[in-house]
Amino acid sequence: QLQLVESGGGSVKAGGSLRLSCSFSGYQVNYYAIAWFRQAPGKEREAVACVSSISAKEDRTNYADSVRGRFVVSRDKFYNKVHLQLDDLKPEDTAVYYCAARAAAQLCSGGLIEGPSEYDVWGQGTQVTVEG
């Protein structure tokens, strides 16, 4: 059974950086489409970024407009992880960040990040707090 575990959250000042990781256990990360979502208190869960395979050597990525140019998602096939690099963090980035996966290559295509209902395996989340 696939299990996802997020790590790397923390508290930083505005303009700072964090690197979140999503570790896969039970299956190889390259067979899955992976998305990062976040949820702030009192708000709905929103998609942040996603990655899926175009071929054995090439991935596609998509980003929410609010994070494009500041966040980068990448897949580490050797260590079976997916990373989300968060740069130039803003107080509005404060949220619990979740990674989610689904064995569906067609996800994260067409310039879109599908919603939470399209992903069927979730991690427990990691808190990111950005102080203004």
pLDDT tens digits, 92-126: 999 999 999 999 878 998 778 899 999 999 999 99
Q: What is the pLDDT of residue 96?
A: 98
Q: What is the pLDDT of residue 34?
A: 95
Q: How many CA atoms lie within 13 A of 50 on its CB side?
A: 30
* Exposure class string for 45-72: b at 16+ Cβ within 10 A, else e: bbbbbbbbbeeeeebbebbbeebeeebb
Q: Could you tell me the mean pLDDT of each successive run of 10 residues in the chain, 132 residues long?
A: 94 98 88 95 95 87 96 92 97 98 87 90 97 92
Q: What is the pLDDT of residue 125?
A: 97
Separation CA 27–CA 47 (nearest Å): 23
